[in-house]
């Protein structure tokens, strides 16, 4: 049911070899992943293919894009029943300035924000920078 292929097909993405490998990689990684991360992980890989793979994953709701303020776009798999595209269902992202990892804090839901009259909020991005628990121990 929840095997790799099904994740793809359930989201209308054809399960090609590369897509399965990238998905596998994203599943194993607990933190957010950059295009270069994926590229480096595979010995023989083409940057463009991975780029388009990640892009497809985002478009089809398999993963979401994260702007953690480092200037490097990160990607992370969506949870089940995630509504990344739909407003106000987004979570906080934490970026550790020590180990440089970015993680999804999915249990921290972004609170509703009231703006001045006339402003319409469509999307909210909340990033906290600091030291993660792992780095904190050392």
Partner DNA sequence: AAATTAATGCACTTCCGTTGCATACTTCAA
Partner DNA sequence: TTGAAGTATGCAACGGAAGTGCATTAATTT
CA 117 vs. chain centroid, Å, equals 32
Residue of 76, 82, 84, 96 interacting with Mn ion (CB under 5 A):
76
Using the rule CB under 8 A, give the single segment among 10-18, 39-47, 50-58, 108-116 that binds its own copies: 108-116
Site residues (vs DNA, CB under 7 A): 13-14, 16-19, 34-36, 45-49, 51-53, 55, 71-73
Q: Which tokens is 55 given?
A: 């892009």
Residue 48, SS3? helix
Q: Which is nearer to DNA, 52 or 129 (CB)?
A: 52
Residue 128 C-beta: closest distance to Zn ion, Å = 12
Q: Which does 104 bind (CB under 5 to 8 A by kind): Mn ion, DNA, Zn ion, none?
A: Mn ion
Residue 98 C-beta: closest distance to Zn ion, Å = 4
- Compute the distance between CA of residue 82 and CA of residue 106 in angstroms, rounded to an integer: 10
CA distances 132 to 64, 121, 129, Å, are: 21, 30, 9
Q: Which is nearer to its own copies, 18 or 127 (CB)?
A: 127
* Residue 1 found at the interface with its own copies (CB under 8 A): no
- Compute the distance between CA of residue 50 and CA of residue 91 in angstroms, rounded to an integer: 25
Residue 123, Cβ density class (10 Å: 0-12 exposed, 13-18 middle, ≥19 buried): exposed
* Residue 70 found at the interface with Zn ion (CB under 5 A): no
Question: Which chain residues interact with Zn ion by CB under 5 A?
Answer: 96, 98-99, 132, 135
């Amino acid at each position: 049911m929840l095997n790799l292929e099904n994740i793809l097909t359930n989201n209308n993405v054809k399960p090609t070899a590369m897509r399965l490998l990238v998905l596998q990689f994203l599943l194993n990684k607990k933190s957010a992943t950059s295009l270069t991360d994926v590229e480096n992980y595979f010995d023989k890989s083409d940057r463009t293919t991975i780029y388009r793979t990640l892009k497809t994953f985002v478009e089809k709701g398999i993963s979401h894009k994260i702007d953690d303020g480092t200037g490097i776009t990160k990607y992370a798999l969506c949870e089940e029943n995630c509504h990344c595209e739909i407003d106000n269902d987004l979570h906080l992202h934490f970026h550790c300035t020590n180990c440089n990892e970015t993680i999804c804090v999915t249990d921290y839901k972004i609170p509703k924000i009231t703006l001045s009259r006339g402003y319409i909020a469509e999307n909210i991005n909340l990033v906290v920078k600091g030291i993660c628990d792992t780095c904190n121990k050392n």
